[in-house]
Structure 1
Amino acid sequence: MFRPAALNSIFKIASRAAAYQAPRPVIRIAPAIFTRLYSASAGLSRSDIESRVLDILKGFDKVEPSKVSLEAHFSNDLGLDSLDAVEVVMAIEEEFSVEIPDKDADEIKSAAQAVEYISKRDDAH
């Protein structure tokens, strides 16, 4: 009598354990987002480059904004020393997201030269 009751009880417990399934991770698939890809932009216009370079120079602490022009030479007209000129070139690099090699940076002595250099770069933003 005890044996059939024990077997019956064990069978019920075993069947419940077999019926239990561990939770499975849910896989969710994100819907497809369709985008159109167009050709690259035409680049920066010369007037945009000029205004951004002049704004950099006008915002520089050691430069008097009234003296800033495209033809202004960094050291002769604006009174910048070589370290200040390097800082201006670095600010131009940051503004346009480009890296100017040292050889080219040494040749940039005026705003017009900076504008000319940036306008030739296709990767300037």
Structure 2
Amino acid sequence: MASIAGSALSFARPVKAVNTSSLSFSAARKGNAFLRLHSVPKRFAVCYAAKKDTVDKVCEIVKKQLAVPEGTEVCGASKFSDLGADSLDTVEIVMGLEEEFDISVEESSAQSIATVEDAAELIDKLVAEKSP
């Protein structure tokens, strides 16, 4: 079920919505709240599965590593390739993430990272596994 607090949306479960022109969420039972959004900007995202703090840190590391020009938007849905990263840049980003979060990313996992959100989700998973 969705709720609106100020201008933020929150959901019981993580929901992704990227590159959509219209969204509609409704509850299955009568009487539950529903939310409909129309004419949504193409880069609209409802929320991320990864923690917001993790996504924010990853965004900062990506901006720094790729020397992204000031004013360029970097968010969870941002693809490394769209930001000008090649395979070497991606390896360097992963190394920066490993250092920042004190984790070790397997090569097979690193190859599946294409977006900031992918990286943040993997980081949250590895940090959770590392915690006793």
Q: Which interval holds the TM-score relative to the shorter structure?
A: 0.5 to 0.7
The answer for the alignment partner of 1:70 in structure 2 is 76
Q: Is residue 54–residue 69 contact of structure 1 (8 Å, CA) maintained in 2?
A: yes
Q: Is residue 73–residue 110 contact of structure 1 (8 Å, CA) maintained in 2?
A: yes
Unaligned segments of structure 1, at least 5 residues: 1-44
Give the aligned length.
79
RMSD after superposition: 1.8
Unaligned segments of structure 2, at least 5 residues: 1-49
TM-score of the superposed pair, with normalisation by structure 2: 0.54
Q: Give the aligned residue type for 2:69.
A: E
4+ residue runs over 2 A deviation:
61-65
The answer for the alignment partner of 1:92 in structure 2 is 97
TM-score of the superposed pair, with normalisation by structure 1: 0.57
Q: Give the aligned residue type for 1:71.
A: A
**Per chain length, whose mean CA-contact separation is higher, i.e. which structure has more relative contact order (CA < 8 Å, sep 6+)?**
1
Match of 2:122 among 107, 117, 124: 117
Percent same amino acid at aligned positions?
Answer: 37
Cα separation, 1, equivalents of 2:67 and 2:105:
22
The answer for the alignment partner of 1:50 in structure 2 is 55
Cα separation, 2, equivalents of 1:113 and 1:67:
17
Q: Give the aligned residue type for 1:67.
A: E
